Amino acid sequence: MYTSVIRPLLFKFNPENAHWLTFQALKLLQSIPFGPATLLSFMQPVEDPVNLMGLTFRNRVGVAAGLDKNAELLPIWKSLGFGFAEIGTVTPLGQPGNPRPRLFRLPDDKALINRMGFNNDGLDIIQERLKNRPKDYIVGGNLGKNTATPNEQALKDYLRVFSGLYNLVDYLVINVSCPNISDLDKLQDRKELDTILKAIMERRNQMVIQKPVLLKVSPDLNDHQLMDTLQLVADHRVDGIIATNTSIGRVGLSATKKRINQIGNGGLSGLPISERSTQIIALVKKELGNDYPVIGSGGIVNEAQAKAKLDSGADLLQLYTGFIYQGISLIKHCLQV
């Protein structure tokens, strides 16, 4: 029904308006007494617990960061059958993001290009929402810096969001790999990343309860850059990797060159980045060991990509673009692998 009826209707709207309409409908359902509980009984989500990083996930398929930036629909994600959800990217101050249009579909490629720019309500508002989150559901927090914050001061932003979310989420993710914030990718350089990881892990290690901290990496890192990154991850005892973020690459797309040029800059997600994302999962496992936690995110649009990532060593999976194209059936398909 989703691919034959709902998706064609939603795709008549521009992508950001379709996202807004979908969220309004889901928020309405969430506001109805027993709405999420009714949805839960109807969906009959798969319970297939996964123990990882000291946490128990309901199943191995979760919501990727970016879909629910502001922590507005956590009860709904649980009811739909997602095993966990990652909110954000969260910045210290709320910000509108980049000018519209900033989200584009490439239907023939089962892909999206976005240059959203960390639009979110800001730490204070998101903290208040998280105080009412489902307590029996794993929630991650994705950390970023404000666009106006120069890289030289980025660490202050990351530490502020880290401290502000720490007692409200179950795991935390350092995001220095999003291509849609000017010069953010320079924080992936060895010296800058070393400084950020050192400070955040020192802050984490001061906590009474030490929650997992993960690093989200870019699919655009070459193998040498990835090895440098993984050495820092090992040196600072970062707890896990999310592979991967979106890509600035445009190789192998079915969309015309004219269409790609019309869209312009932004991060590519969906099927075209699946192969590189899967390669990086395998490289992480080879370098850091089969027991090192890896969340596979990037290009899962059917069970084939889910299987490839799991076979390469991913412990958990995250959906975003594939969920836009395939709907909730994709969750169960991934869990049947």
Q: What are 169-206's pLDDT values in tens digits?
A: 999 999 999 999 989 999 999 999 999 999 999 999 99
The answer, yes or no, to whether residue 120 has pLDDT greater than 90, is yes
| Tens-digit pLDDT profile for residues 263-300 | 999 999 999 999 999 999 999 999 999 999 999 999 99
pLDDT at 172: 99
- Residue 284 inside a domain? The answer is yes
Q: Which of the four pLDDT bands, split at 50, 70 and 90, describes residue 110?
A: very high
Mean pLDDT of the chain: 97
- Per-residue pLDDT, averaged over 18-32, amounts to 94
- Residue 251 inside a domain? The answer is yes
The order of strands in the sheet holding 111-114 is: 103-106, 111-114, 267-270
Which segments of the chain are extended strands (E)? 50-52, 55-57, 61-63, 84-90, 93-95, 103-106, 111-114, 120-122, 138-143, 171-175, 213-217, 240-243, 267-270, 294-297, 316-319
C-alpha span between 51 and 222 (Å, rounded)? 31
Q: Indicate the annotated binding residues for FMN.
A: 65-69, 89, 142, 175, 216, 244, 270, 299, 320-321
C-alpha span between 263 and 250 (Å, rounded)? 11
Q: What are the b/e assignments for 296-305, b being 16+ CB within 10 Å? A: bbbbbbbbeb
| Tens-digit pLDDT profile for residues 296-320 | 999 999 999 999 999 999 999 999 9
Residue ranges making up the domain that contains 130: 46-335
- Residue 88 inside a domain? The answer is yes
Q: Which of the four pLDDT bands, split at 50, 70 and 90, describes residue 34?
A: confident
- Residue 57 inside a domain? The answer is yes
Q: Which of the four pLDDT bands, split at 50, 70 and 90, describes residue 38?
A: confident
Q: What are the b/e assignments for 107-139, b being 16+ CB within 10 Å? A: eebbbbbbbbbbbbbbbeebbebbeebeeebbb
Contact 285, 121 (CB under 8 A): no
pTM of the model: 0.97
| Tens-digit pLDDT profile for residues 218-275 | 999 999 999 999 999 999 999 999 999 999 999 999 999 999 999 999 999 999 999 9
The answer, yes or no, to whether residue 12 has pLDDT greater than 80, is yes
- Residue 30 inside a domain? The answer is no
Of 227, 216, 103, nearest to 158 (Cα)?
Answer: 216
- Residue 119 inside a domain? The answer is yes
Q: Indicate the annotated binding residues.
A: 65-69, 89, 114-118, 142, 175, 180, 216, 244-246, 270, 299, 320-321
Of 186, 178, 272, 164, nearest to 216 (Cα)?
Answer: 178
- Residue 200 inside a domain? The answer is yes
Phi/psi for 257 (5° steps) reads -60, -35
- Residue 34 inside a domain? The answer is no
C-alpha span between 222 and 310 (Å, rounded)? 22
pLDDT at 45: 74
CATH of residue 326: 3.20.20.70
Looking at residue 5, the DSSP 8-state letter turns out to be I
- Per-residue pLDDT, averaged over 117-131, amounts to 99
Q: Indicate the annotated binding residues for substrate.
A: 69, 114-118, 175, 180, 245-246
Using DSSP bridges, classify how beta strands 111-114 and 267-270 pair: parallel, antiparallel or unpaired: antiparallel
**Residues in CB range of 2: below 8 A, 6 or more apart:** 326, 327, 328, 329
C-alpha span between 16 and 118 (Å, rounded)? 14
Domain count, the chain: 1
Per-residue tokens: 131: 């105080």
C-alpha span between 95 and 119 (Å, rounded)? 5
Q: What are the b/e assignments for 33-56, b being 16+ CB within 10 Å? A: eebbeebbeeeebbeeebebbebe
pLDDT at 40: 65
C-alpha span between 65 and 292 (Å, rounded)? 21
Q: Which residues are catalytic?
A: 178
pLDDT at 42: 73
